[in-house]
Amino acid sequence: MATVLCIDDLSVSYGNLHAVRQVSLTVAAGECVGIVGESGSGKTQVFMAALGLLAPHARVGGSVRFEDREILGASAAELNSVRGSKLTMIFQDPMTALTPHLTIGTQLAEVLVEHAQLSWRDAEHAALAALARVRVPEPERRLRQYPHELSGGLRQRVMIGMSLLCAPSLLIADEPTTALDVTVQAQILELLRALRSELKMAIVLISHDFAVVAGLADRILVMYGGRVVESASAGDILERATHPYTAELLRCVPDLHAPRLDRMPSLPGQPPAPFGATPGCAFAPRCGRAGARCSSERPLLRATRSDTQLAACHFPLPA
């Protein structure tokens, strides 16, 4: 199966703040890859770097190849020929992602005017079809409305519809269910599942919640402290996690069949400060294994499709 996206040895820093540390991963055509980790683990920064959307003072190293074309460090003109058309991203928080002073129809149509050189009339017709595809009710009326007139769930559907206008090879969904209630979350995830099957496109699903990615991702990468600490198939990660950070995250997922608890389980401590070098396993200060020492000699994790189970920890999980 062809590789759509190949990120190799990617690092992102801002002065002495290291947001991403030597991350490598691949995404195959038609594959869904889940990226899981706490806020600040570097998930979004990896893909903002890939799209050339970092702040001007960011320092970036490594390689990002999209459909065998190097795009890291490419000019704005080169990037604009790819992003928004073949490579698209749904940004966090549907409540603020749309431009407030433009109608929904204008925002959708301008994508096709810019990338497909359609006339405004043809672009508006295509925008109407896009809203219908993502199951927006009364699409004709929604085209004339402004973002503040739509609910959070409808805004997210509009963002998904916008990202699909040019039939992308890869869709990056960054926390697509943020700020949505659980019923709407389920609808959005089901919509992504159906669209992936229909359009045969690859998806990267970024989340801090295993429950969000569990039903959609073929493969899951877990990030901590700017690094990938574990990578495996979704089934292996969910059933046989080998890194203690992954195991602790899974223990925090609510279980309807477990005995009732007075307090929900949580992960103690805080993520590491992203300043300077972090020798060994960055999770060591929060690790519950008494006397466990993480090796700094283990090679960096390279999360490719051929991985069956990778984890940056030498110690077995406690019984």
Please state, in angstroms and rounded to a whole number, the distance separating the CA atoms of residues 58 and 45: 10
Q: Which residue from 10, 93, 97 is spatially nearest to 54, judged by alpha carbons? A: 10
Burial 140-149, CB ≥16 within 10 A → b, else e? eebbeeebee
Residue 243 near residue 222 (C-beta atoms within 8 A): yes
CA dist., res. 119 & res. 10, Å (int) = 39
What is the pTM assigned to this prediction? 0.86
Residue 118, C-beta contacts closer than 8 angstroms, at least 6 positions apart: 112, 126
Q: How much is the pLDDT for 272?
A: 83
**Domains located in the chain, CATH noted:** 1-86+177-256+263-270+277-319 (3.40.50.300), 94-165 (no CATH)
The percentage of the chain sitting over the pLDDT mark of 70, rounded to a whole number, equals 88
Own/partner pairs, 189-192, CB within 8 angstroms, 24+ separation: 189/215, 189/216, 191/134, 191/135, 191/157, 191/160, 192/160, 192/216
Percent of the chain with pLDDT over 90: 55
Q: What is the pLDDT of residue 78?
A: 92
Distance of CA 32 to the CA centre of its chain: 10
Average pLDDT, integer, range 295-318 = 46
Is 81 in contact with 87 (CB distance < 8 Å)? no
In the predicted model, what is the mean pLDDT of the chain?
86
Mean pLDDT on 232-251: 91
SS3 for 169? coil
pLDDT digits (tens, 9 = 90+) for 98-137: 999 999 999 999 999 999 899 999 999 999 999 998 989 9
Q: Which of residues 92 and 302 earns the better pLDDT score?
A: 92
* Separation of alpha carbons 111 and 165, rounded Å: 8
pLDDT digits 0-9 by tens, 13-68? 999 999 999 999 999 999 999 999 998 899 999 999 999 999 999 999 999 999 99
